[in-house]
């Protein structure tokens, strides 16, 4: 299949559940719903923890539960052709749950998920603090694009803004993170590298 062409129904993207499981979950089959939750639980937990700058498992679990309740409630209306990918739908719901929970407040940067990082993610503490200090919707755009690889249009739908605003938020967020990386680099000003 050529890059940019629509996926065929038989083809399954690596981060997506298969179409049969999706159709069964849409019909309300318990096992399929369980499989869907198990498949998307990791990305949802990662997004919610980073977005809200918390490592408190019970906070993330509560928001993840709300996310999956909404996903399963709305799943019968989900259409692959219209909504593109189930992963973007699930992450959109998680983002909106988190934004609603924050209620316009910026979650406090601290000893949260962004501060810990992950093995191999290459983020030092200064960069993680910079990302955590971003306005919530800018942080959401950055996480959805750079961690979860959503397309600009998918991010725009998740945040209910236009694509131009997504680009602006990404540019500003990346500039803040780059600035923090430059300022926090142990090599900055060090002569012995």
- Residue boundaries of the structural domains of the chain: 19-184
d(CA 148, CA 42): 11
d(CA 141, CA 147): 10
Q: Looking at residues 27-50, what average pLDDT do you find?
A: 95
Higher local confidence (pLDDT), 47 or 131: 47
54-89 confidence digits (pLDDT tens): 778 899 999 999 999 999 999 998 876 555 689 999
Sign of the dihedral defined by the CA atoms of residues 155, 161, 162, 164, in that order: negative
Other residues' Cβ atoms within 10 Å of the Cβ of residue 156: 18
143-175 confidence digits (pLDDT tens): 999 989 999 999 999 999 999 999 999 999 999
116-137 confidence digits (pLDDT tens): 444 444 445 777 788 888 999 9
The 3 state secondary structure assigned to 129-166 is: HHHHCCCHHHHHHHHHHHHCCCCHHHHHHHHCCCHHHH
d(CA 47, CA 72): 18
Q: Looking at residues 1-23, what average pLDDT do you find?
A: 61
């Amino acid at each position: 299949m050529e890059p940019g062409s629509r996926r065929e129904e038989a083809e399954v993207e690596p981060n997506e559940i298969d179409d049969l499981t999706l159709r069964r979950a849409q019909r309300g089959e318990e096992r399929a719903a369980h499989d869907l939750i198990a498949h998307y639980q990791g990305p949802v937990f990662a997004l919610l923890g980073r977005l809200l700058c918390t490592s408190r498992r019970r906070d993330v679990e509560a928001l993840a539960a709300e996310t999956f309740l909404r996903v399963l409630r709305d799943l019968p209306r989900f259409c692959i052709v219209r909504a593109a990918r189930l992963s973007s739908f699930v992450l959109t719901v998680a983002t909106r749950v988190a934004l609603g929970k924050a209620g316009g407040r910026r979650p406090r940067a601290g000893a949260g998920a962004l501060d810990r990082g992950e093995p191999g993610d290459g983020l030092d503490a200064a960069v993680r603090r910079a990302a955590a200090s971003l306005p919530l919707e800018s942080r959401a755009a950055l996480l959805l694009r750079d961690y979860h690889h959503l397309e600009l249009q998918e991010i725009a739908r998740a945040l209910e803004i236009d694509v131009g605003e997504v680009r602006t938020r990404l540019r500003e967020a990346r500039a803040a993170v780059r600035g923090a990386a430059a300022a926090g680099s142990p090599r900055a000003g060090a002569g012995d590298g």
